[in-house]
Amino acid sequence: MNKQQSGFTLIELVLVIVILGILAATALPRFSDLSSQARIASANGLAGGLRSAAAISKATQLAQGLGSATQVSIEGQLVQMSGGYPQANNTGIERAISDFTGFTSNSAGVFTLQANCLVTYANPGTGAFTAVVTSNGC
């Protein structure tokens, strides 16, 4: 009786393992840098949130006909304004944005994710504000 065996030879299995190893070695460096990109994206997201919170505060102030250095109420929070935008402190922009989870604040407009990975909100009180991302340490 002539029996035929089916399956893979040892050489074929080793070849597949080698090919998979080569593919894994070339793909690994692409995935190892994702954490840095995620931190940068998080900082950019917070900067966008700060800009939006400042714009909403300004719009609320204008809609209510208030002076540029008064307080506005946003979702039950009193936000201290200066030059038409929230101040760069814990009674201004921090109350306007309300949620900056993952970041720590120095209560002066600097939101830090980790060393040299931060977002700085500044309001000089002259009607212009900035939200700048520093991502060289992300």
Does the pLDDT of residue 1 top 70, yes or no?
no
In a domain, 23, yes or no: no
- Quote the pLDDT of residue 98: 85
CA distance 39 to 111: 13
| pLDDT exceeds 70 at position 2 | no
Is 51 domain-assigned?
yes
Whose tokens are 């080569």? That residue is 22
Question: Would you say residue 5 lies in a domain?
Answer: no
Structure tokens belonging to residue 20: 């998979």
Share of the chain above pLDDT 90, in %: 67
- Range(s) of the domain holding residue 62: 38-134
Number of domains the chain is built from: 1
Q: For 45-77, write each residue's pLDDT tens digit.
A: 999 999 999 999 999 999 999 988 899 999 999
